[in-house]
Structure 1
């Protein structure tokens, strides 16, 4: 060190050393982002279902403890802003499981002392845009309450298609504008115990009928000549199956309805109406099966 530098040091004239910044470890390096918390509450479909149930129950409170004024049906109208929203409502209403949402809704209505007719029907319709005229409205939901005082719209066409056994026709159109009662039995005509001649509209072939195929009609003999009847209710726009004397267990026979949700219903009570829904299969005598479709 020179003499001048020594003097500068003695009198404190040397520049102070600037501390160099040191690299600090980055706490964020090598760390994973925190996961987003899972959404709480009901899943989207369950939320939609709860919304619909609360809406219907709330709007039907005028019918509490009024069994004499019970509606025969409900039509739910839903306005959707996108296909995704419509699909979420379809999942909520369990449209792929016919009758299941109606059963759940019926339980909620009963819990609130709201009675509907015995064979009441539930329908749902989706709209892109405005709702139609409804009995009740709230947001994007509308409810039309159907009563039995007058028909709601034109008669509902249906058809029966043979899926097991052999019938005179492979399918039958049910047109309520032509008739509202359709008799089912083996052979074209038969005489009942009262002496009246009954004419069947849905004919299961006898083994001596023209066109009978022993292979297709092997089980036809199990069907009674007067087995069952399908009736159409104009006010309710509803088809129902009634089992005639020949199709009852008392006559050594049986009749069943297989619903689309895999439920099986035994139709074994005389005079009782068994409502039919789209996709039902009617089994006669355990061997002939007719598929019911609305059109």
Structure 2
């Protein structure tokens, strides 16, 4: 440093430092602007097979809890019935059931049943049915799942006959024969047909007359309007060899109860759980809509 520079510095004549270069707006924006978060697209399509498989196995276990610790009365066969309204649903359930690996689903189900103390015979039978229209005969039903249980009783080819007799209200026939060898499902409703939520046309076997049907009597059929077009179904359970009443959506109003079973011992059973089969015994009276009464008799 020269003598002149030393003197200038001594008396405070040092040159000011050059100003820092101003930040360009683009650089400031680049540093302060938050990085946008791009949301992940929501998954679409049917849920994966694993949760459906867990749901299916839980359904079977829950319906077979009556056989816990009772291997001597355990079923000899199970048939799963699954409602699949679309081809996509059907394909999903084929994956759920491991249809490309025969026997795998039955082995897994057998293992989990045993974990819950439900032990089936060594060579118990298993199969399944996927359908898109009318429900086949089942022992249990819940949502889109059904289960047919085969017990250990010997096969009996003798049909179980029953009849329905109208006590209160007006039906198309005074009585209806139920023949298990010809048919296993008998629909009850007002009018000859009804359209279901899926668009399928349901045909009633036990017809409560509409006020515009031929032969309708305003006096006899005064309470017929309380019965829904798709009110209930009587099904024959080949495994239990018994008829049972199932209440359809039309017989399950949002409030109150529209379906009852009055037993010969004067007890009354409210039939108000969807998908549940209520066993019928000789002499039961079935009340529909609080107005129409049908008598069930075994022949």
Q: TM-score, normalised by structure 1?
A: 0.51
Q: Write out aligned runs for 1:10-25 (5 A).
A: none
CA distance in 2, matches of 1:147, 1:191: 35
* Partner residue, 1:157: 161
CA distance in 1, matches of 2:293, 2:223: 10
CA apart distance, 1:65: 2.9
Deviation sequence 1:142-198 (CA, Å, 0-9, x none): xxxx94465345121000000000000000000111110000000000111110000
Q: Confirm or deny that 1:212 pairs with 2:216.
A: yes
8 A Cα contact 1:166 1:213, kept in partner = yes
CA distance in 1, matches of 2:211, 2:205: 18
* Partner residue, 2:201: 197
8 A Cα contact 1:243 1:267, kept in partner = yes
Q: TM-score, normalised by structure 2?
A: 0.50
CA apart distance, 1:237: 1.2
* Partner residue, 2:284: 280
* Partner residue, 1:235: 239
8 A Cα contact 2:170 2:216, kept in partner = yes
CA distance in 2, matches of 1:187, 1:64: 44
Q: Write out aligned runs for 1:76-91 (5 A).
A: none
CA distance in 1, matches of 2:275, 2:152: 21
* Partner residue, 1:259: 263
Change in Cα spacing, 1:219 to 1:152, as seen in structure 2 (3 Å) is same
Gaps of 5+ in 2: 1-66, 77-149
Q: Counterpart of 1:271 in 2: which secondary structure?
A: coil
Q: Counterpart of 2:254 in 1: which secondary structure?
A: helix
Change in Cα spacing, 1:244 to 1:68, as seen in structure 2 (3 Å) is farther
Q: Counterpart of 1:161 in 2: which secondary structure?
A: strand
* Partner residue, 1:180: 184
Q: How many residues align?
A: 160
CA distance in 1, matches of 2:282, 2:179: 15
Q: What do you get for the CA RMSD once the two structures are aligned?
A: 2.3
* Partner residue, 2:249: 245
Q: Counterpart of 1:184 in 2: which secondary structure?
A: strand
* Partner residue, 1:6: none
Change in Cα spacing, 1:205 to 1:189, as seen in structure 2 (3 Å) is same
CA distance in 2, matches of 1:173, 1:243: 20
